[in-house]
Structure 1
Amino acid sequence: MYNDWEHRYDGIICNPPYFKFHDYDNKNVLSEMERRLKCKLNGFCNLYALFLLKSVYQLKPGGRCAYVVPSEFMNSDYGKLVKSYLIQSGTLRHIIVFDFEENVFEDALTTASIILCANDGTSGRLRFTNIRSVAELSLVYELIEGKSVVNGACSRSYSFSEIDSAVKWKRYYQVQNGNGFRDLVPFSTYARVVRGIATGANSYFTFNLSKARDHGISEKYLLPCICRAADVQGHFFTEGDFEWLKEEGKNVFLLNAVDAEDKHVLNYLKKGETEEIHKKFLTASRHPWYALEKRPPAPIWVSVFNRSGLRFIRNEAGIRNLTTFHCIYLQENLFSNITVDLLFAYLLTDTARLIFEDNCREYGNGLQKFEPNDLNKGKLLDIGKLPHNARAEMLSLYHSYSEQKDRQFVEKIDNLLLEHFAC
């Protein structure tokens, strides 16, 4: 990253290292990159994206570059500035994206794409091609050789002016589920999503009853909390579910020691300092180091990772959650006719999950991930526009589902939504 900037090359082929921002000296590397490229970059950049930008910079006139990298940067927040530089350089020609359910590299759970660049000044267009396997690369050869249509290849071409570096590029190479509906609005119109509580040292801050007894810590200094996604089954989490987990010895408490004067709590804090818990990345930035992030209990939780679609949970127990789930809070709007129950009724549907998939992040072997902003900026049907009788019907079906747990009631909500919003 610091060397060889003056040299230019006819051809560069690269499979760069994949390091997240905290795995390399990103502060100094980014400073060097920004000085050389005369552009701003995001501090969360994966190192492979920086390798790509450096290679584009070092192409000779007429030079070409081929990279194999994860497709993550095309759909992440840090990738916006990377994509902007690539478009402005005028060198980006072809992006070949492997289906994210295909694990191209057996020893790595990652997506895969091939980026082709040319410093020839002859094109103002970018082609995206979707392929399902390595064997289908033969189709790409035909596209590169100039055939505009190749049977079996899902390929689309766009002028640079049509490409928006600020949006997820999935829209350019995948069918968008939301296109089949009208009256879509950002999810943030009705709710906001934030990540769960990050302790910085879960093994220290989380408790079960046995650990609390061993250290003499009263429940007065412990907050009820869901610590593992596997501890929550189904779409509803009740006080009875929490009590069952507690009696089963699960970690369902967080240490809440601010302003505590109890000698047992103070001894436990000293133990944490002896173990240098206070020097960890997150705890070192908190004052005091053992203070918890302020997160009121969220009425709805949503899964972070999934392979079978987003999972939403109604937090009827009113307890907190760690980062195993994101928190969903209803927006405070005096003029909104949306209640938590109505929103949750919508979120239970296949329609809601399909539309959200347009904004997910994809990893190898079919794994999806949603960061809070992926959901905040994702779309939902504007259920506030539903007639009063339709909203009442949705709520009635939802209450029937919550009582009987029969999926047919959710299917009826789905049908109601399709009736009002399908194009």
Structure 2
Amino acid sequence: MTGSPDIDLLEAQRLDLQAQLDGDKTSEDRNRMGQFATPTALAREILSHGLRLLPEGQKIRFLDPGIGTGSFYSALRAIAPEERIETAEGFEIDAHYGEPARALWQETPLDIRLEDFTRAKAAGQGANLLICNPPYVRHHHLDGPEKAELQHRTEDACGVKINGLSGLYCYFMGLSHPFMAEDGIAAWLIPSEFMGVNYGRMLKRYLLEKVTLLQIHRYDPADVQFDDALVSSAVVWIKNTPPPHEHSVTFSYGGTLAKPAISREVPAAELANESKWTRYPQAEKAAQKADITLGDLLDIKRGLATGDNSFFIMDRDQIEERGLPMECFRPVLPGSRYLPEDEIRSDANGWPLIDKQLFLLDTRLPEDEIARIYPALAAYLATGTKGEKAVSGRYLCRTRKPWYAQENRPAAPIICTYMGRSRAGGKPFRFMLNHSQATACNTYLLLYPKPLLAQAAKKNPEIMRTVWEFLNEIDSDELLGHGRVYGGGLHKLEPKELRGFPADGLIARLPEIKPLNQQLGLFEKAVA
């Protein structure tokens, strides 16, 4: 018989306790400490998979370095025969959870240590089954000296120095290395972001060089695993033994660990040269190293941040009602939901031909000159300097001179929505060809031609249409592989990620570039 006959009752009590303890804390406090409890079904799914990876009948020495109220231990007792559990240990830094958890499990062999795992010393045989949902604490909640100490201790523990921009979960993984028995199995339920960001490089090095990486299962981001944490979750499975020669790693996606929607074996040698592990398992091979990227041809920037859109952006009626001078405004595009077409036409004034026309207050005239020439505008600006939360006192505004001046973001010929959701038959990001003189705010990326492309486009304006068509033909999975994803299926594409996208295929469509290439000595290989 598996599990304890009382485990379902204990699990029900644990869930009630978890809800009570969570309710005693603010969401801000829990976010700061990265406290997001693992749901029962997910914990049992992970434990079931872990037991399948252990030799049949092997006694279990269980460890959870961030145990909370014990969701993984509860799952272990529900799945494994009680006599098979040799030892069980957990660490919990927060007595708010640790003390009640101790009381809940006091009649079981679980030893909960109320201490900071990142400072603990390993002893004994080591765990052969380590399962953990480590605290999801972002790096900006860790101060400088604390980070430096964590980096030093982690490097001593696993031989890899974790990047200082990493979240606390990366340190937990490295610090756990001495706590594992030889050939022991570990599962880490962590955000999948490490697979595609620069700070995850050192963690990936640990997974490829110091242990045997068995599998990474990514849950469908549309299926949020935690109700209160908008992250895309992955389970990383490792075995504490050096990686064998010509080793391959299982990448799976969607569904469950037992029945994923997609699964593929990827050679570890390929992973070592691939910066975006989020490409797998959908991608059949690593991304090709491009001779030219979009960043070679386009200057890609985030749209402007006003400091307070409600103060600086108005429609024509609001401007007229306040008697403000139109010459102190310039057109700005509304949110993408107000742009039904991916080609933005323009009138003779350069204003976009759309229903929702908006304008951005943008002048660098000094205040005394505004008061002399435009008294209505001076009166309006004065309202932005009053009150406890004055617009002029906001961070972006107070760093500008004058405070009401805007960033230099001219209209871009191509804009891109940098956040979006992936839906069946649709694309998460939209590329739009902008014929107007409207700039755009920071919900968009702005794509400006660099001198090489701008010179060609000056002679033939249709070149930018060719660029736009190329961008729209990029396969959605390829584009998603260069970006990152959050819980709920929200995808994000940063400027540097779009800059790195291969553009060799675009060069092939631009014969005008070739003579410029010969003149400037650039891109020889791509246009040969």
What letter matches 2:418 in structure 1? V
CA gap of 1:63–1:194, structure 2 versus 1, over 3 A, is same
**Quick check: 289-298 or 29-38, which moved more?**
29-38
CA gap of 1:186–1:58, structure 2 versus 1, over 3 A, is farther
* TM-score normalised to structure 2 length: 0.59
Matches within 5 A, 1:196-207: 196-207=303-314
What RMSD over aligned residues (CA atoms) do the two structures have, in Å?
A: 3.9
Q: Cα offset for 1:40? A: 5.4
2:293 to 175, 183, 186: 186
* TM-score normalised to structure 1 length: 0.72
1:312 to 431, 451, 459: 431
- 1:329 maps to 448
CA gap of 1:289–1:262, structure 2 versus 1, over 3 A, is closer
Partner deviation per Cα, 1:342-365 (whole Å, 9 max, x = no partner): 343353355324443442323345
Give the SS at the match of 1:329.
strand
Give the SS at the match of 1:378.
coil
- 2:18 maps to none
CA gap of 1:237–1:286, structure 2 versus 1, over 3 A, is same
What letter matches 1:169 in structure 2? W
CA gap of 1:319–1:361, structure 2 versus 1, over 3 A, is same
Partner deviation per Cα, 1:309-363 (whole Å, 9 max, x = no partner): 2311111112210012100111212797566633433533553244434423233
- 2:134 maps to 16
Do residues 219 (structure 1) and 339 (structure 2) align?
Answer: no
> Percent identity, aligned pairs only?
23
Give the SS at the match of 1:342.
helix
Give the SS at the match of 2:410.
coil
> Equivalents in 1 of 2:417, 2:201: separation in Å?
25
Partner deviation per Cα, 1:263-297 (whole Å, 9 max, x = no partner): 34444444334324344444454454443222222
What letter matches 2:232 in structure 1? T
Do residues 359 (structure 1) and 466 (structure 2) align?
Answer: no
Moved over 6 A (4+): 181-184
> Equivalents in 1 of 2:323, 2:181: separation in Å?
69
The question of whether the paired residues in 2 share the 8 Å contact of 1:222 and 1:255 is answered with: yes
**Quick check: 334-343 or 375-384, which moved more?**
334-343
> Equivalents in 2 of 1:258, 1:208: separation in Å?
22
CA gap of 1:81–1:153, structure 2 versus 1, over 3 A, is same
- 1:399 maps to none
CA gap of 1:262–1:388, structure 2 versus 1, over 3 A, is closer
The question of whether the paired residues in 2 share the 8 Å contact of 1:53 and 1:86 is answered with: no
> Equivalents in 1 of 2:338, 2:270: separation in Å?
46
- 2:151 maps to 34
Do residues 117 (structure 1) and 226 (structure 2) align?
Answer: no
Q: Cα offset for 1:175? A: 1.5
Structure 2: runs of 5 or more not aligned? 1-32, 34-92, 94-115, 156-160, 515-525
The question of whether the paired residues in 2 share the 8 Å contact of 1:30 and 1:41 is answered with: no
> Equivalents in 1 of 2:146, 2:393: separation in Å?
25
Q: Cα offset for 1:26? A: 5.4
> Equivalents in 2 of 1:254, 1:20: separation in Å?
36
What letter matches 1:158 in structure 2? P
The question of whether the paired residues in 2 share the 8 Å contact of 1:302 and 1:325 is answered with: yes
Do residues 138 (structure 1) and 261 (structure 2) align?
Answer: no
What letter matches 1:223 in structure 2? R
Do residues 158 (structure 1) and 277 (structure 2) align?
Answer: no
> Equivalents in 2 of 1:270, 1:37: separation in Å?
53
Structure 1: runs of 5 or more not aligned? 141-151, 392-420
CA gap of 1:122–1:164, structure 2 versus 1, over 3 A, is closer
Do residues 382 (structure 1) and 505 (structure 2) align?
Answer: yes
Larger radius of gyration: 2
Give the SS at the match of 2:384.
helix
- 1:195 maps to 302
